[in-house]
């Protein structure tokens, strides 16, 4: 049961931190880790390149509504087996977060500073057996209201500093998981320099160093599908009532790039020692497997580069054995299925 509680306690902090970084995402990885290809558009049809990077101004404020559902089905055996603990846990979390663009840190040229505030936070927890920790978990999510997390990213979109997650989750692990989140939710991560055109594909890779198995990385294959009206509608582009059904109106409001991203957790080759350094340092060896895949659909404003909405579904499977230097062991196996939706709220305060 404790492992479930630890997982959901991390989720609230990591989801918002990871999205905040993707919200400010920039091309990452450079030529060695990025590949791209483009379809040739039909003759006479222009397909200009556009930048997916957000254009920020200090003082801007944005609000996002976030919905996450995570279903964890696990079993444990060995030293830490808990046959009375829940094997299936479903967490539904809904939150509204405000993101503010802060004055830049002059010591980091081209960097971005963000402040994320939980304005609303509520969760429900369900399990297939009695879970005495469910009420405590729900209370922890409620207690996120009013919490503030500040992040500083460099010009490449990499996380440099994070503050405010103390007490929610181990800050070092949160920072690493947030870096992993860049690969999973960023619109522009790995995009080739100079912008992208409709029909173009690109691949990016991001190490998954926060997992208990070494050598894994997230591989993201992205494709710029088309332009269409933002979903939900972009509040920056109001529609005139007398043009609601006209072709001109559709063309004028087609101001979002639609990006499809397919993610997979992979390993480049067999790893001699699957134990990450952090576990080895603490006298624990790990062995086993961890796999995962997900698909995201992103709507990115062509006018501002803002992520207007992200919808993602994914699943991870694991079967990992932890062995201590005292020759005791625990096996942790199961699946984690998730779905999420993040949407920019139609609030004109973000235009300030």
Kindly report, residue by residue over 197-220, the tens digit of the pLDDT.
Answer: 999 999 988 888 888 999 898 898
What is the C-alpha separation between 96 and 1, in angstroms, rounded? Answer: 28
Do residues 148 and 115 lie in contact, with contact meaning Cβ atoms separated by under 8 Å?
yes
| 247 Ramachandran zone, left/alpha/beta (phi>0; psi -120 to 50) | alpha
Can you list the pairs that 144-149 forms with residues at least 24 positions away whose Cβ atoms lie under 8 Å? 144/12, 144/95, 144/118, 144/168, 145/118, 145/119, 145/120, 145/121, 146/117, 146/118, 147/117, 147/118, 148/115, 148/116, 148/117, 148/118, 149/13, 149/16, 149/17, 149/20, 149/115, 149/116
Which residues have CB under 8 Å from 130's CB, separation 6+? 86
Which residues have CB under 8 Å from 5's CB, separation 6+? 133, 136, 137
**pLDDT at position 166 over 80:** no
Do residues 204 and 34 lie in contact, with contact meaning Cβ atoms separated by under 8 Å?
yes
pLDDT at 105: 85
Secondary structure element (H or E) that encloses residue 247, with its range: helix 247-253
What's the Cα-to-Cα distance from 152 to each of 52, 64, 71, 261, rounded to whole Å?
Answer: 20, 19, 31, 25
**pLDDT at position 318 over 90:** yes
pLDDT at 14: 45
Residue range 54-65: average pLDDT? 88
Q: Please give the residue that has the higher pLDDT: either 350 or 295.
A: 295
- Model's pTM, two decimal places? 0.77
**pLDDT at position 159 over 80:** no
Res. 299 pLDDT band, cuts 50 70 90 = very high
What's the Cα-to-Cα distance from 37 to each of 175, 259, 263, 307, rounded to whole Å?
Answer: 32, 15, 18, 23
What is the C-alpha separation between 214 and 216, in angstroms, rounded? Answer: 6
**pLDDT at position 176 over 50:** no
Q: What is the pLDDT of residues 238-268, one digit of tens each?
A: 443 443 443 334 334 458 999 999 999 988 7
What's the Cα-to-Cα distance from 39 to each of 27, 47, 222, 223, rounded to whole Å?
Answer: 21, 10, 14, 11
Do residues 327 and 285 lie in contact, with contact meaning Cβ atoms separated by under 8 Å?
no
Secondary structure element (H or E) that encloses residue 10, with its range: helix 2-23
Q: Tell me the DSSP string of 285-309.
A: EEEEEEEEEEEEEEEEETTT--EEE
Q: Provide the strand spans (E) within the chain.
A: 35-37, 61-78, 88-102, 112-127, 148-153, 159-163, 201-207, 217-228, 256-266, 284-301, 307-324, 329-344
pLDDT at 110: 82
Closest listed residue to residue 18, CA positions, set 157, 178, 166: 178
pLDDT at 347: 53
Q: What is the pLDDT of residues 97-143, one digit of tens each?
A: 999 999 988 888 888 898 989 999 999 998 887 777 788 888 888 98
What's the Cα-to-Cα distance from 160 to each of 133, 175, 192, 208, 303, rounded to whole Å?
Answer: 34, 9, 23, 17, 28
Q: For the chain, what percent of residues have pLDDT higher than 90?
A: 30
Secondary structure element (H or E) that encloses residue 216, with its range: none
């Amino acid at each position: 049961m404790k492992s479930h509680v630890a997982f959901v306690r991390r989720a609230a902090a990591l989801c918002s931190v990871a999205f905040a970084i993707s919200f400010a995402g920039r091309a990452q990885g450079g030529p060695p880790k990025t590949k791209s290809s483009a379809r040739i558009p039909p003759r006479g049809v222009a397909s200009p390149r556009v930048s997916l990077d957000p254009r920020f101004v200090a003082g801007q404020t944005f609000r996002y509504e976030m919905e996450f559902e995570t279903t964890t089905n696990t079993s444990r055996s060995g030293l830490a087996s808990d046959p009375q603990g829940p094997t299936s846990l479903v967490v539904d979390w809904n939150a509204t977060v405000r993101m503010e663009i802060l004055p830049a840190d002059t010591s980091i040229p081209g960097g971005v500073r963000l402040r994320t505030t939980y304005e609303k936070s509520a969760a429900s927890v369900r399990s297939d057996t009695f879970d005495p920790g469910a009420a405590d978990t729900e209370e922890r999510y409620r207690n996120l209201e009013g919490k503030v997390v500040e992040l500083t990213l460099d010009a490449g979109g990499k996380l440099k500093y994070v503050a405010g997650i103390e007490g929610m989750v181990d800050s070092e692990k949160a920072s690493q998981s947030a870096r992993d989140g860049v690969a999973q939710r960023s619109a522009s991560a790995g995009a080739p320099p100079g912008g992208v055109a409709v029909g173009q594909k690109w691949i990016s890779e991001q190490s998954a160093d926060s997992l208990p198995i070494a050598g894994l990385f997230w591989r993201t294959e992205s494709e710029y599908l088309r332009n269409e009206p933002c979903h939900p509608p972009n509040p920056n582009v109001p529609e005139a009532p007398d043009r609601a059904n006209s072709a001109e109106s559709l063309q004028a409001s087609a101001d979002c790039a639609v990006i499809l991203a397919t993610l997979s957790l992979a390993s480049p080759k067999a790893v001699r020692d699957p134990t990450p350094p952090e576990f080895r340092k603490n006298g624990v060896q790990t062995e086993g497997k961890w796999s995962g895949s997900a698909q995201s659909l992103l709507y990115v404003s062509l006018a501002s580069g803002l992520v207007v909405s992200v919808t993602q579904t994914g699943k991870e499977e694991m079967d990992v054995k932890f062995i201590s230097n005292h020759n005791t062991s625990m096996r942790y196996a199961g699946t984690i299925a998730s779905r999420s939706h993040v949407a920019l709220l139609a609030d004109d305060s973000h235009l300030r």
